[in-house]
Chains A and B, each alone.
Chain A
Amino acid sequence: MLLEVRDLSVNYGHIEAIRDISFDVPEGSVVTLIGANGAGKSTTLKTISGLRKVRTGSIVYDGQDLAKVSADRRVQMGISQAPEGRGIFPGMTVRENLEMGAYVRRNRSAAALAPDFERVLTLFPRLAERIKQPAGNLSGGEQQMVAIGRALMAQPRLLLLDEPSMGLAPKLIQQIFRIIEEINAQGTTVLLVEQNAAQALRRAHLAYLLETGEIVRSGTGSELAGDPAVRAAYLGGDV
Chain B
Amino acid sequence: MHFQYVFDNFASLFIGGLVFGSVYALIALGYTMVYGVLQLINFAHSEVFMFGTFATVWALWLIGADATTMGVALVLSIAFAMVASMITSGGVALLLERVAYRPLLKRGAPRLIALISAIGASFVLSEAMGLRGAIASALGLSDTLGRYVARSRENLGMPTDRTTTVQFELFGYGVTNVNIIVVVSAVLMMVAADQFIRRTRTGRGIRAVAQDPETASLMGVNSTRVIQITFLIGGMLAGAAATLYMLHIGATRYNAGFLLGVKAFTAAVLGGIGNLRGALVGGLVLGVAEGLGAGLFGNEWRHVVAFVLLILILLFRPTGLLGESLGKARA
Contacts and interface: CB of A to CB of B under 8 A. Distances in A.
B204 A75 contact: no
A81 B216 CA distance: 11
B218 A91 contact: no
B329 interface: yes
A103 B220 contact: yes
B221 to A, nearest CB: 6
A136 B328 CA distance: 9
B330 A91 contact: yes
Interface size class of A (residues with CB under 8 A): 20 to 34
Contacts of B327: 89, 91
A72 B204 contact: no
A160 to B, nearest CB: 9
B331 A93 contact: yes
Given A96-B331, A103-B201, A91 B219 contact: no
B164 interface: no
A50 B212 CA distance: 16
Interface size class of B (residues with CB under 8 A): 20 to 34
B328 A83 contact: no
Given A90-B328, A93-B331, A71 B207 contact: no
B217 A87 contact: no
Contacts of B330: 91, 93, 134
Interface in A139-158: 150-151, 154
B269 interface: no
Interface string B199-216: 001001101100110111
Interface in B109-139: none
A92 B211 contact: yes
A75 B218 contact: yes
Contacts of B216: 100
20 contacts: A46-B214, A70-B222, A73-B220, A75-B220, A87-B212, A89-B212, A90-B328, A91-B328, A92-B207, A99-B204, A100-B208, A100-B216, A100-B219, A103-B204, A103-B208, A103-B220, A103-B221, A104-B219, A150-B219, A151-B218
Which 4 residue pairs are nearest across A and B when measured between Cβ atoms?
A: A75-B220, A104-B220, A91-B328, A87-B215
Interface of A: 46, 49-51, 70-76, 80-81, 83, 87-93, 96, 99-101, 103-104, 108, 134, 136, 150-151, 154
Interface of B: 201, 204-205, 207-208, 211-212, 214-222, 324-325, 327-331
